[in-house]
Structure 1
Amino acid sequence: MSKPPRTPSKPLLGEADAPIRSRPRRRRDPAQPNLPFEPMPARIEPCLALLKARTPKGDDWVFEIKWDGYRLALHIAPTGVRILTRGGHDWTSRFPAIERAAKELPVATAILDGEAVVLDERGRSDFGLLQQSLGGRGGKKRSSAALFMTFDLLYFDGHDLRGSELSMRRHLLEDLVPAEGQGDIRLSGEIDADGDQLLASACQHGLEGIIAKRRDSPYRSGRLGDWVKIKCIQSDSFVIVGYERSTVARAGIGRLLLAARKGKELVYVGGVGTGFNERNAYELREMLDGLITSMPAASVDRKRAIFVKPKLIAEIEYRAWTDDGKLRHASYKGLREVQDNAAVYEIA
């Protein structure tokens, strides 16, 4: 059975934001230097965005929308396509539509950096919808709903581009993936705008936030500050160290008990009791009951706490921190996959 055509996604930023426009596609510069042939890396550790409270200033920064999904590297070679998670696990079989689209790109060898996302009816990435499309945490479903939003090109036709400036890598990427494309691989566009204005607009439209990148930066693995993220709502990963039962809540989960890392220890940072739906609550309760232990992984002063082994990592949205180091207005978004190599929040 052939796959039905996708409905074009709606623009994330509407007419009310007319001053904010995607950067126009540029023609290839014939004066670009010839690069030496280099072997294709088997895997590249991703460049990670450093969380900042304010948007950076200056003409040397460019901006993009922050996507809420799974970070992936798309490897294209004559022998086939590989889709690798941030932790280096092969998830090619999980994203058949993206794999097919990669085989149709006009390139012999390439490595594209990007994010697998599922868009809601307003064109916003939704992590919960992505998880559902994959069958939940630990699920084995093949997602036909996920798109690959690409924002960097690390290797191209025999050339390792990591030492080149971002502006050159983007130039080549824009030639490879059309800016106006509506397929299963799409270009995450650069946006010409004042950073503060763009952030305000992103928050108004219910987006997670924005990413700022230095135009002249090479591609460096790790969280070194060449890329920064500014969020509308804080969202981080925390270890589930226990839960409290409820006779009225879905699946009997009244509250998850969460912990962050501090050095080599786990520190209790409060709980979350909202954000569950019928499906994920029952799946979560089943996993929790299989991890019950009498030995708490963190010091928790809750009389009704049921402790679990610290095996599950939850993605949590929250508004702020209390003075005593607890999360305020927390909401559960879903569980992170082990293969996603999600970084648990660290307390300085």
Structure 2
Amino acid sequence: MRIEPMLLKRVNALPQGNNFIYERKWDGGRMIAYVKQGRVKIFTRQGNIVSHKFPEIADELAKLPDCILDGEIVVLKDDKSDFRAYQRRVMMENPFQIKLLAKTIPATYVIFDIIQLGDMDLKYYTLMERKETLDKLLGNGNTFIKPIIYYETPDFLLQKANSIEGIVAKRKDSVYESGKRSGAWVKYRFIKEAIVEAIDFEETPSGIVAIDEKGNRITINGKQAEDVKKAIIENGKIQIEINYMEKTIGGRYRFPSFKRMVIK
């Protein structure tokens, strides 16, 4: 039976207090890994098996005792997670290219939880009890599999706002709630900004979806939607400022949101 990952609730302010730990939010793919008698299956959140696409990770996981792990597969460059490089890895289907990319663009499985060890179901253990079990299992890890580093306060991670995607805060006493977004785990994202040129739009019940030259779709509501629509109709285009999380391989913005029109 496949286990759904525990989900993160998005917040606009980090929770504070002694009952939380703080982890770096990596920008890659959330994965549940199953290890049984040296065989490895790695599942995406959508339930797709991608073990064969990350042989360098699967080979290391195969050395572990039977377990079920939760973590993020990332491609690291200068301690930053490169989402476009991760996309290239996870989208590759050609076996020869997969083998080549495992050497030229190696990935890392950053593991932040353990759900089962042998026959022992750990879901109802506290987070810190599971962390202790994970640390004993992995030690410091290696290039391809490693436990996530966590902190008692968010101060260090807040200082890295320009180089990381965000911060995850987790209650120390949280159990593993498979498939649920209970609020025991929350994510706080650092936002990037860009200026794009909207050249078209589609109307919606509450406003418009502006479309830029690369096909990015930005939802705009209320009076601002009317202003952007009018500018596109009259001038054929309008520059708008957006917030976004990351760029994809094709230059698209992940999770773009409208901020304002750019008035020259």
Show the counterpart of 2:86. 130
Which aligned pairs between 1:268-287 and structure 2 lie closer than 5 A? 268-272=208-212
Show the counterpart of 1:172. 133
SS in 1 for 2:133: helix
Which aligned pairs between 1:153-172 and structure 2 lie closer than 5 A? 153-172=114-133
Residues 183 and 59 of structure 1: is their aligned pair in 2 closer, same or farther, counting only changes over 3 Å? same
Identical amino acids, percent of aligned pairs: 29
Give unmatched runs, 5+ long, in structure 2: 216-227, 258-264
Show the counterpart of 2:223. none
Show the counterpart of 2:224. none
Which aligned pairs between 1:323-342 and structure 2 lie closer than 5 A? 328-330=242-244, 333-334=247-248
Q: Which of 194, 210, 216 is equivalent to 2:173?
A: 216
2:185 corresponds to 1:227: yes
SS in 1 for 2:125: coil
SS in 1 for 2:123: coil
Alignment TM-score, normalising by the size of structure 1: 0.57
SS in 1 for 2:88: helix
Show the counterpart of 1:47. 6
Residues 332 and 49 of structure 1: is their aligned pair in 2 closer, same or farther, counting only changes over 3 Å? closer
Aligned-residue offset at 1:329: 4.7
Higher strand proportion, which one?
2
Which aligned pairs between 1:85-234 and structure 2 lie closer than 5 A? 85-105=44-64, 107=65, 109-120=66-77, 122-134=78-90, 138-141=91-94, 142=98, 143-144=101-102, 145-179=106-140, 181-193=141-153, 195=154, 197-204=155-162, 206-220=163-177, 221-233=179-191
d(CA) in 2 for partners of 1:256 and 1:333? 20
How many pairs does the alignment contain? Answer: 226
Compute the RMSD of aligned alpha carbons.
Answer: 3.5
Alignment TM-score, normalising by the size of structure 2: 0.73
Residues 332 and 232 of structure 1: is their aligned pair in 2 closer, same or farther, counting only changes over 3 Å? closer
2:40 corresponds to 1:72: no
Show the counterpart of 1:14. none
Q: Deviations over 1:262-321 (max 9, x none)?
A: 9xx897443455xxxxxxx8xx9xxxxxxxxxxxxxxx955679xxxxxxxxxxxxxxxx
Give unmatched runs, 5+ long, in structure 1: 1-41, 236-252, 274-280, 285-299, 306-325, 337-341
8 Å contact from structure 2 (residues 171, 185) kept in 1: yes
SS in 1 for 2:14: coil
